[in-house]
Chain A
């Protein structure tokens, strides 16, 4: 482990400060029936596709292990690989910047953009720039950041936030998208045609024409990276639409913001990753566009390349023995698509750009558990385990959730719940005490009889929609003692 002391925590961004707890945010999301329908349809479609293409690979488990091992190797010697990455990038003609947090990263990007004397940049979909809220920082400085991924464009035009890592507009259906295009495109560039329908091909065409103007005009492109290969200094961007490739090739200056956990040791390690990622994310055997970008090449593509290597809480996660496996995440979204909780609440309830099961573990690790939302996220799961099964790099999300619950409990100190749990532990640690509690339950059972109990004070969360089970009049223990002649406890 090259890093043993935890780094600083990530600052919760202004957008998410004061977020309600997950259960509160979830209640609001559950009431949105259109969104629930959209989410159910979309997650089930991707889920089915993923299952089919994963089943085609006989050595899937071996691939998962290879993927996890490559990431673990990088994380275990992160300092060394980052230095190697910096050296290879530099020798390829790129300029490397280091950013401890969001503020520092945004300032670096802003300084570069300002030095080019432009008032706009084009962006390829990037989670990390959403994490640091780069668009907002640029906007505050009078610079427009145009999202060019189709779904990101929908979210941006809709003055909305992404609800999914891979399919940011998953919560929208096509008639909603048509309305957004008609209403908003004209305000920021080429308007949508008046006769626009909600036919997907027509919607895509409107987006293509709208974006084309921006691609051809922009002098600066901003990207993230799916992988950063240490030994070759190559940044890898994986996408479906080709808009990313436009951003990476057309502008004169390219700025790539890359989380430090994106580094993988060698070119060979890309092999499992590029098999795992598309099957897990879009349910495709191979993604349509894989762009590998190695520095500056005269007369070909951007002539100035900047790479901003960002910590923003990652080294803090790295220092946690159990928690660091979350940094293996390759942002495929497979865990979101199989999660029954995410399917019903959508992404906004998680109070971060990282929603779903991975968000429920990553956010409280990156940001700590001081805020109400981060405290509640480890409990935003039924621990059904579908996320662990789907994860292509074997992140044991249920294990992490339980670990984080322990941290929340420790931080909270004495509460009504901790008192109840201490009492439960006391009862359960001794069979005589358990038998005593069971006798009390059996007495209640005799009083209530077979009547259906519809409400019990303090159990409102259960009895609002669910009957309580009928209490037995005798525990198994009592029965056994009576029938099998042991002492009655």
Chain B
């Protein structure tokens, strides 16, 4: 394990689990906590947190997301860093919260949003940029391929940070995913409103995943993984889907 770039024990770190992970994929925030604590962080989970508002905003109900933005700021502005295991939700905080506040027309809130937003990190950004680690001491002896979700890739520009982290995992056999940068077709309510196109896009993603021969598909967003995993499951492909946090949290004891 490489040494963190700065002492992290003093950092007041909050976990933003995201409502989707909290409700549907609790293993992911659990893994995030375990990973961050292993790296020396003191992690808090403020119980008053709920949701970033992305689903409402992206479906056209941005005016209803004002209260969620206010809550997000109230809950998290006291922390040095807010970490979320979701590129999509962090993307929403960075790209959409300022716009929602503008819609609501609250200048005071706008400046609080402006102050808080730079402290909100997607997991791989926090590990690589803030903690300065790429080797997080993980062990995961499986053939893995990585899907960079659109919002991590094009909203957050996380670049190859997740791959740096994965490459340093002991035992891993990391294989490149063909057409990795192409959208899997989830897109929130797009998966329902344009189900046929969404499935056609997902089918191509699944084909590429199967081409790699990977046992495990990894990504930084459970929403995309639910869609791709749902298609993989229907095909009885046997390929497992896992969140990046869960792979990075894995240790030798877990695999025993």
Q: Would you call A379 and B190 a contact (CB within 8 A)?
A: yes
Distance, CA A429 to CA B67, complexed state (A):
6
Interface pair A469/B151, CB less than 8 Å apart: no
Is there contact, CB below 8 Å, between B197 and A441? no
Residue of A whose beta carbon sits closest to that of B151? A385
Q: For the complex, is A139 an interface residue (Cβ under 8 Å from B)? A: no
Asked whether B252 is an interface residue with its Cβ less than 8 Å from the other chain, the reply is no
Contact digits for B38-55, partner A, Cβ 8 Å, 1 yes 0 no: 000000010111110101
CB-based contact B50/A428 at 8 Å: yes
Indicate if the CB atoms of B194 and A484 lie closer than 8 Å: no
CB-contact partner of A385 in B154, B227, B229, under 8 A: B154
Say yes or no: A383 contacts B49, CB within 8 Å: no
B182 and A476 within 8 A (CB): no
Q: A405-B60, A461-B192, A476-B17 are in contact. Are A386 and B25 (CB under 8 A)?
A: no
Q: A406-B61, A425-B64 are in contact. Are A382 and B186 (CB under 8 A)?
A: yes
Q: Are A466 and B22 in contact (CB under 8 A)?
A: no
In contact, B154 and A340 (Cβ under 8 angstroms): no
6 contacts between A and B (CB under 8 A): A340-B182, A383-B150, A428-B68, A437-B23, A476-B30, A479-B26
A466 close to B154 (CB less than 8 A): no
Give complex CA distance A480, B99 in Å: 32
Query: Are B183 and A384 in contact, with the CB atoms below 8 A?
Result: yes
B198 and A382 contact, CB distance less than 8 A: yes
Additional pairs, 12, CB under 8 Å, beyond known A386-B154, A428-B19, A466-B199: A382-B190, A384-B150, A385-B153, A389-B154, A408-B60, A424-B56, A429-B71, A431-B47, A452-B233, A461-B195, A477-B22, A480-B45
Q: Which of B56, B95, B194, B199 contacts A465 (CB 8 A)?
A: B199
Is B154 touching A405 in the complex (CB atoms < 8 A)?
no
Which listed residue, A384, A425, A452, A471, touches B61 by the CB 8 Å rule? A425
Contact indicator B56/A462 (Cβ below 8 Å): no
Residue pair A409, B60 in contact (C-beta under 8 Å): yes
Pick the contact of B226 from A464, A469, A472, A487 — CB < 8 Å? Answer: A469
In the complex, B231 has a CB within 8 A of chain A: yes
B155 and A475 form a contact (CB under 8 A): no
> What string of 1s and 0s marks CB contacts (under 8 Å) between A404-447 and chain B?
01111110000001100110110011110010011001000000
CA distance A371 to B57 in the complex (A): 23
- For B64-103 the 0/1 string (1 means CB < 8 A from A) is 1101100100000000000000000000000110010000
Tell me which residues across on chain B come within 8 A of A481, comparing CB atoms.
47
How distant is the Cα of A402 from the Cα of B189 in the complex, in angstroms? Answer: 12
Contact A384 B194 (CB under 8 A): no
A344 is an interface residue with CB less than 8 A from chain B: yes
Q: Known contacts A389-B154, A469-B226: does B23 contact A441 (CB below 8 Å)? A: yes
Residues of B within 8 A of A386 (CB): 150, 154, 181, 183
Least CB distance from A171 to B in Å reads: 16
Q: A23's closest neighbor in chain B, by CB?
A: B194
Asked whether, in the complex, the Cβ of B59 is within 8 Å of the Cβ of A382, the reply is no
The reply to whether B191 and A462 form a contact with Cβ atoms under 8 Å apart is yes
Shortest Cβ distance from B17 into A: residue: A476
The answer to whether B231 touches A22, judged by C-beta atoms less than 8 angstroms apart, is: no
Contact, CB under 8 Å: A383 / B196: no
Q: 0/1 per residue, A456-489, Cβ < 8 Å to B?
A: 0000011011111101101111011100101101
B220 at interface by CB-CB < 8 Å: no
Closest chain A residue to B32, Cβ basis: A476
Q: Which residues of B contact A475 (CB under 8 A)?
A: 22-23, 26
Q: Is B162 among interface residues, defined by CB-CB distance under 8 A?
A: no
* A344, B185: Cα distance in complex, Å: 11
> What is the CA–CA distance of A22 and B24 in the complex, to the nearest angstrom?
31
The residues of A that contact B194 with a CB separation of less than 8 Å are 22-23, 26, 341, 379-380, 382
**Minimum CB–CB distance for B75 against chain A, Å:** 9
Mark interface residues in B1-27 (1 if CB within 8 Å of A CB, else 0).
000000000000000010101111111
* Contact A428 B51, beta carbon cutoff 8 Å: yes
Query: Does the CB pair B197–A406 fall under 8 Å?
Result: no
Q: Which of chain B's residues have a CB closer than 8 A to the CB of A380?
A: 194, 197
Query: With A469-B226, A489-B47 in contact, is A464–B199 under 8 Å at CB?
Result: yes
Least CB distance, B121 to chain A, in whole angstroms: 18
What string of 1s and 0s marks CB contacts (under 8 Å) between A144-167 and chain B? 000000000000000000000000
Q: Report chain A residues within 8 Å CB of B26.
A: 472, 474-476, 479
> Given A26-B197, A405-B59, A476-B26, do A340 and B183 touch, yes or no (CB 8 Å)?
yes
- For residue A286, CB closer than 8 A to chain B, the reply is no
